[in-house]
């Protein structure tokens, strides 16, 4: 009996870990007049994030992107952006008009922690966060600092890309799963005692 419970306690967290392999997710951000809801998203490669412009002020558009060199546009090397996002579109007369940015994260080169700018057409700007991490379940991850393959091409990444936040969050998730596993085992044990 006691051995069985102990085995459950050991096995359930392992099963939880196996079940956590990443499936592609889609996240939605609502872009408002002075905020984004939410202000930041954490993605894994193959996820999608979609930014919808819900700012209904007349003639105000949003343009969200990475301005690496801080010159107020998203056109330089390594930069990317939504393009102009309107609140409403008259597609009959303007087929290029868009109300949403659907950003499919399908390139491992995008892995990093970004501070994006939302440039409003009235000159205001707000900063939002976009964290993209690699899918750790596809295979053994290289140790940081270790060189795989072509070592001369090793890049020095910007400081922003070195945040330990994602590791911390993974730790929290693991701790949560283990607690859940333990609680489930205790629940099963209680049921067995009552039977």
Which stretches of the chain bind Ca ion, using CB under 5 A?
67, 69, 71, 73, 76
Q: 5, 26 in Cβ contact below 8 A?
A: no
Residue nearest to Ca ion (CB): 76
CB closer to Ca ion, 33 vs 73: 73
Please tell me the distance from the alpha carbon of residue 128 to that of residue 133, in angstroms, as a whole number: 17
CB closer to Ca ion, 119 vs 177: 119
> Smallest distance, Å, CB 27 to Ca ion?
25
36 beta partners: 31
Q: Taking Cα atoms as reference points, which of 7, 45, 21, 4 lies closest to residue 177?
A: 21
> Smallest distance, Å, CB 116 to Ca ion?
12
> Smallest distance, Å, CB 129 to Ca ion?
18
CB closer to Ca ion, 65 vs 181: 65
> Smallest distance, Å, CB 72 to Ca ion?
7
Tokens of 131: 């964290």
CB closer to Ca ion, 55 vs 67: 67
Residue 20 φ/ψ, nearest 5 degrees? -90, 5
State whether residue 15 is helix, strand or coil. Answer: helix
């Amino acid at each position: 009996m006691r051995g069985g419970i102990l085995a459950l306690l050991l096995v359930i967290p392992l099963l939880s870990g196996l079940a956590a392999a990443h499936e592609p997710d889609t996240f939605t951000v609502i872009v408002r007049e002075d905020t984004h809801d939410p202000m930041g998203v954490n993605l894994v490669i193959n996820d999608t994030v979609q930014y919808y412009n819900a700012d209904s002020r007349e003639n105000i558009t949003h343009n969200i992107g990475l301005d690496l060199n801080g010159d107020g546009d998203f056109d330089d090397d390594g930069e990317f952006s939504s393009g102009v996002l309107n609140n409403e579109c008259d597609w009959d007369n303007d087929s290029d008009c868009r109300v949403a940015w659907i950003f499919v994260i399908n390139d491992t080169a995008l892995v990093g922690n970004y501070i994006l700018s939302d440039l409003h057409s009235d000159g205001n700007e707000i900063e939002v966060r976009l964290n993209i991490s690699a899918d750790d379940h596809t295979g053994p991850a290289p140790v940081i600092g270790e060189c795989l393959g072509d070592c001369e091409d090793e890049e020095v990444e910007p400081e922003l890309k070195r945040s330990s936040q994602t590791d911390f969050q993974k730790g929290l998730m693991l701790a949560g799963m283990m607690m859940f596993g333990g609680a489930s085992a205790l629940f099963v044990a209680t049921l067995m005692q009552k039977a």
